[in-house]
């Protein structure tokens, strides 16, 4: 596998971008080695600048649920772009998009379109604070909600305290209103919230986590958060930027039958172009400018080309049949990986939901950030490179979810399982 062109480009990129990349996890820092520069992608496959092909399980970190360069999506983008790429005025595709989103997620009584998941979360939480007149936000360790200052906080192991920033450049005063609880621990969450119940504007959660690897909510956890919010007057915000239109046509909220007050979306709804959305209760969304006093705006929001890509993608994915297929593929892959690992005597956990899964080298179930961090990252690093050498491109970190698309067929899954079997055997040999 020659990687000359990727190496050359990365050397050049390091002189241009911090760490040679425009988003940190792309740099391969948690697995070592050089990132691949991708020249093209089609269906389930990526091709790098050296001409190597890979079965792709990153899927641009979620958006490419219909597969890369799906002809219907490409056609929609081309046709729409030919009519003008941005107007800075209302256009019909925004209305179509909003109707599609509302049809599948009835909790969205009003919504606002933005350009990224980060922006969607910032808008939703500002609306929650504006509506409630309260300052505090409760989040969970290991959940990622974009890179807004006050959300770059996760508690140190087991610490249930006021936030401490994870990033330089975030003054402590900006995170003083951020509370961090352990995922899946309702008792700890209630205890943390109790002294702040009159100040709590929102509880924000990934209803299925994708950002510490794939971690499923324990039965009763999300229901408990709904009750906590009802009891305190805080708004329940489901961050479905990753799970929306992936785990179920109606998102995790439909899958679990829980109605959040606000929802954030992104990734899939842009079909590979930059889109985000936030929305929910009409009385809350009425607070958003120009109807209300919570300011939020965007030069390119509701961009017609992005709407076209998103609508074409939603058309392909948002049917029960498409989702049944995607779930079946994901199940085959997750169960297959657990099986070949077991045969090689590697102790792993492979949690999954429709269209997403992850691999933890751990002997016990992963329920929260501490469990995820306790898994053997070093083994994942080895596994990642073994898989890459066999033509399978996994997320370059043990703490990210793998994404399956409609374009992953029986062939790709069988090939992936063969590569996994050989990779586990190699690891088992090395570790005695
Ligand atoms: C990706 C992600 C975000 C941030 O979205 P961007 O488009 O990268 O800004 C927010 N929340 C969740 C759950 C995500 O997975």
The predicted model gives 361-371 an average pLDDT of 96
Residue 42 Cα to ligand 1 midpoint, Å, equals 24
Q: Is the CB of 142 under 6 A from ligand 1?
A: no
| 405 vs 73: CA distance, rounded Å | 14
pLDDT in tens, 56-89: 999 999 999 999 999 999 999 999 999 999 999 9
139 catalytic residue (yes or no)? no
Distance CA 272, CA 328 (A): 23
Burial class (CB in 10 A: 0-12, 13-18, 19+), 308: buried
For the cut 60, the answer to whether the pLDDT of residue 336 exceeds it is: yes
Residue of 405, 418, 386, 390 whose CA lies nearest to 58:
405
**Domain ranges (residues) in the chain:** 4-69+319-430, 71-317
The answer to whether residues 398 and 25 touch, using CB atoms and an 8 Å cutoff, is no
What pLDDT, on a 0 to 100 scale, did the predictor assign at position 154?
73
- Label each residue of 198-211 as H, E or C: CCEEEEEECCCECE
What does the pLDDT read at residue 155?
Answer: 38
May I ask the CATH class of domain 4-69+319-430? alpha beta
Q: Which atom of ligand 1 is nearest to the CA of 206?
A: 13
Encode pLDDT of 174-187 as tens digits. Answer: 999 999 999 999 99
Q: How far is it, in rounded angstroms, from Cα 130 to Cα 123?
A: 10
Active site residue 154: no
Tokens 């590979």 correspond to 272
Which among 180, 204, 206 has a CA at the least distance from the CA of 193? 180
The topology (CATH level 3) of 71-317 is 3.40.640
Which 8-state DSSP code applies to residue 129?
Answer: H
Q: What is the whole-number distance in angstroms between the Cα of residue 118 and the centre of ligand 1? A: 6
**Ligand 1 nearest atom to the CA of residue 264, by list position:** 11
Instruction: Convert the pLDDT of each residue in 270-302 to its tens digit.
Output: 999 999 999 999 999 999 999 999 999 999 999
Average pLDDT of the chain is 95
Q: Which of 48, 56, 185, 239 is catalytic?
A: 239
CA distance 137 to 21: 31
Whether residue 1 has pLDDT greater than 90: no
Q: How far apart are CA 265 and CA 287, in angstroms?
A: 19
Q: Do domains 4-69+319-430 and 71-317 have the same CATH topology?
A: no
Q: Is 239 considered catalytic here?
A: yes
Position 104 pLDDT exceeds 60: yes
pTM equals: 0.96
* Contact indicator for 160, 188 with CB cutoff of 8 Å: yes
Mutation to probe ligand 1, out of 145, 253, 271, 274 (largest number of atoms < 8 A from CB): 145
pLDDT, tens digit (0-9, with 9 covering 90-100), for 301-328: 999 999 999 999 999 999 999 999 999 9
Residue among 149, 215, 242, 264 to mutate when testing ligand 1 (max atoms within 8 A of CB):
242
Q: Which of 118, 215, 301, 397 to mutate to test the pocket of ligand 1 (most atoms within 8 A of CB)?
A: 118
Q: How far apart are CA 265 and CA 251, in angstroms?
A: 10
Of all protein residues, the one whose alpha carbon is nearest to atom 8 of ligand 1 is 117
**355 φ, ψ to 5°?**
85, 0
- CA 54, distance to chain mean position in Å, is 22
For residue 241, report the distance from its CA to the centre of ligand 1, in Å.
Answer: 6
Angle at 212 between CA 210 and CA 214, to 5 degrees: 40
Cα distance between residue 182 and residue 192, in whole Å: 10
Instruction: Confirm if 117 and 281 have CB atoms less than 8 A apart.
Output: no
């Amino acid at each position: 596998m020659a990687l000359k062109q990727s190496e050359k480009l990365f050397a050049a990129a390091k002189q241009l971008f911090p760490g040679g990349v425009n988003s940190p996890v792309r740099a391969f820092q948690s697995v070592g080695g050089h990132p691949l520069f991708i020249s093209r992608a089609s269906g389930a496959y990526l091709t790098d600048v050296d001409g190597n092909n890979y079965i792709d399980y990153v899927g641009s970190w979620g958006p490419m649920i219909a597969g890369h360069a799906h002809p219907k999506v490409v056609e929609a983008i081309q046709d729409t772009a030919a009519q003008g790429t941005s107007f800075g005025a209302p256009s019909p595709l925004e209305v179509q998009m909003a109707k599609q989103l509302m049809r599948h997620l009835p909790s969205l009584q009003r919504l606002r379109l933005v350009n990224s998941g980060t922006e969607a979360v910032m808008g939703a939480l500002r609306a929650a604070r504006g509506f409630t007149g309260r300052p505090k936000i409760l989040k969970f360790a290991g959940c990622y909600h974009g890179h807004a200052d006050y959300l770059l906080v996760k508690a140190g192991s087991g610490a249930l305290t006021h936030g401490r920033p994870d990033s330089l450049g975030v003054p402590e005063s900006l995170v003083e209103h951020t509370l961090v609880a352990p995922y899946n621990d309702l008792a700890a969450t209630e205890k943390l919230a109790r002294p702040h119940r009159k100040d709590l504007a929102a509880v924000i959660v990934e209803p299925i986590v994708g950002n510490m690897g794939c971690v499923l909510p324990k039965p009763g956890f999300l229901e408990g958060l709904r009750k906590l919010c009802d009891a305190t007057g805080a708004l329940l915000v489901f961050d479905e930027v990753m799970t929306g239109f992936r785990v179920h046509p109606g998102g995790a909220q439909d899958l679990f039958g829980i109605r959040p007050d606000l929802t954030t979306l992104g990734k899939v709804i842009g079909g590979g172009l930059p889109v985000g959305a936030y929305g929910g209760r009409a009385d809350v969304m009425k607070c958003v400018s120009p109807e209300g006093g919570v300011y939020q705006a965007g030069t390119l929001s509701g961009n017609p080309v992005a709407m076209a890509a998103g609508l074409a993608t939603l058309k392909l994915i948002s049917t029960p049949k498409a989702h049944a297929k995607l779930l079946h593929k994901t199940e085959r892959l997750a169960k297959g990986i657990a099986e070949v690992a077991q045969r090689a005597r590697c102790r792993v956990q492979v949690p999954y939901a429709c269209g997403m899964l992850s691999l933890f080298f751990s002997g016990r179930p992963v329920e929260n950030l501490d469990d995820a961090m306790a898994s053997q990252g070093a083994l994942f690093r080895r596994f990642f490179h073994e898989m890459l050498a066999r033509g399978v491109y996994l997320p370059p970190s043990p703490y990210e979810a793998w994404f399956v698309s409609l374009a992953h067929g029986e062939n790709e899954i069988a090939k992936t399982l063969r590569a996994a079997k050989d990779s586990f055997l190699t690891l088992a040999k090395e570790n005695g």
